[in-house]
Amino acid sequence: MRGKASKKFTGQILVIGAILFSGSAAMAAAAPKSDWQAEWEKTLASATKEGQVTVYGPPATGYQNAIGAFQNTFPRIKLVYIPGSGTNNAQRLVTERRAGKYLADLFIGGSGTIIEVLFDGNLLEPLSPMLLLPEVKDQSVWLGKTHTYADAKGQYVFMIQGNISTNLAAYNTKLVNPAGLKSYMDLLNPTWKGKMVAYDPRARGHIQSVRALYHSPKLGGEFFRRFFGEMDVTLSRDQRMMIDWVAQGKFQLSIFSTSTDVMEAKKQGLPIDIIDAPDEESYMSGGFGHVGVVNKAPHPAATKVLLNWLLSKEGQLKWQEKTDNNSLRTDIPKNMLSDPSSIPTEKGKYVNTSLPQYQDIDMALKIIDEALTKAGKR
């Protein structure tokens, strides 16, 4: 009897337990979703109805492929990518606005154009309210444990990438001993007078370099006065020609040369290489890695989805992989980057030339222009 009673009791317990478990499961299923989940699902549903998002971005294939990866994750939202230089895309957007056409959702490019045209023209929306995913809102996974913005208000132009430039000069390896060049100040040594070619900074092709040097406490405007006024520097606006001149020995040093072009020439067997600047004379540039959301966007929900995807771990992995530029997210591997020296560190002393306090270089260009005029090279 005791055995039967015991089995009966055990069975009752199991039934009650099953009922309690199923009830708990039902309660869990019926529990309200977190605020961000509910908002995200609502936004995603609206984005699917909109069915499209339009990006004005850089023309290089790498950038197009990076943004294009969004389509694989969200195939029901058509991605329209308008490639073009920052200047051309900004002019296009402004022209469209004047005609009453609102076509662009996001704008990706260099900080100069986004700041000077879109931000200053009040054409952007603040980004913080659009960041919905917890992993995107978490600032601890970004360099400096913060989101970096390039605009003066710190909320409109998000800097998603940052590459370090330590390029002091390109030099002819057969003619120059690089041991004597450890700082930009060493370029003022009379030894180099008449032996250098430099990319014309007034062409704004190397505006980041100008910003970094002008705002360096050690260099500043005085360096520009002496370098362009005293050193008999030849100017050029042709990067390839500058590299060829140095490789041929016509000049011994090339200043403001593009590192990728120099290294490509080196791979081809030409006698040319790069001298690195010290940490405090180097700089970090966001390049074309700045994103802003255009106000009055035609696809607001899809814009939020794309923005959150782009700033997510998945999106930034694709960005690094396709563009070969360092993402400022620090929780993703960097071994895919071809140039490890371009990766910034938390303790780096370099100037971040995308920050708003370094944007204005009118005085620097004025000093350069006056020095060149005085030297008869204007």
Q: Which CATH class is domain 167-281+360-374?
A: alpha beta
Neighbours of 241 (CB within 10 A): 13
Name which of 245, 252, 255, 265 is nearest 199 in CA terms.
255
Q: Which range is least confidently modeled, 1-5, 60-64, 241-245, 333-337?
A: 1-5
| 166 Cα distance to chain centroid | 17
- In this predicted structure, the answer to whether residue 114 has a pLDDT above a threshold of 90 is yes
- In this predicted structure, the answer to whether residue 202 has a pLDDT above a threshold of 90 is no
What type of residue is 368? I
DSSP 228-239: HHHS-PEEES-H
| 40 Cα distance to chain centroid | 26
Q: Residues 166-170: what's their mean pLDDT?
A: 92
- In this predicted structure, the answer to whether residue 260 has a pLDDT above a threshold of 90 is no
The model's pTM is: 0.81
Sign of CA dihedral 205, 174, 189, 282: positive
**CATH architecture of the domain with range 35-162+286-344:** 3-Layer(aba) Sandwich (3.40)
Q: Residues 177-185: what's their mean pLDDT?
A: 94
Residue 352, helix vs strand vs coil: strand
Q: Residues 74-101: what's their mean pLDDT?
A: 96
Sheet hosting strand 283-285, strand order edge to edge: 163-165, 283-285, 351-352
Sign of CA dihedral 293, 295, 298, 302: positive
Separation of alpha carbons 340 and 317, rounded Å? 16
Separation of alpha carbons 277 and 43, rounded Å? 47
Domain extent listing, the chain: 35-162+286-344, 167-281+360-374
Q: How far is CA 150 from CA 109, 110, 115, 153, in A?
A: 12, 10, 8, 9
Q: Residues 204-233: what's their mean pLDDT?
A: 88
Longest Cα–Cα distance in the chain: 116
Q: Which residue has the tokens 């390039």?
A: 150
Confidence of residue 32 (pLDDT cuts 50, 70, 90): low
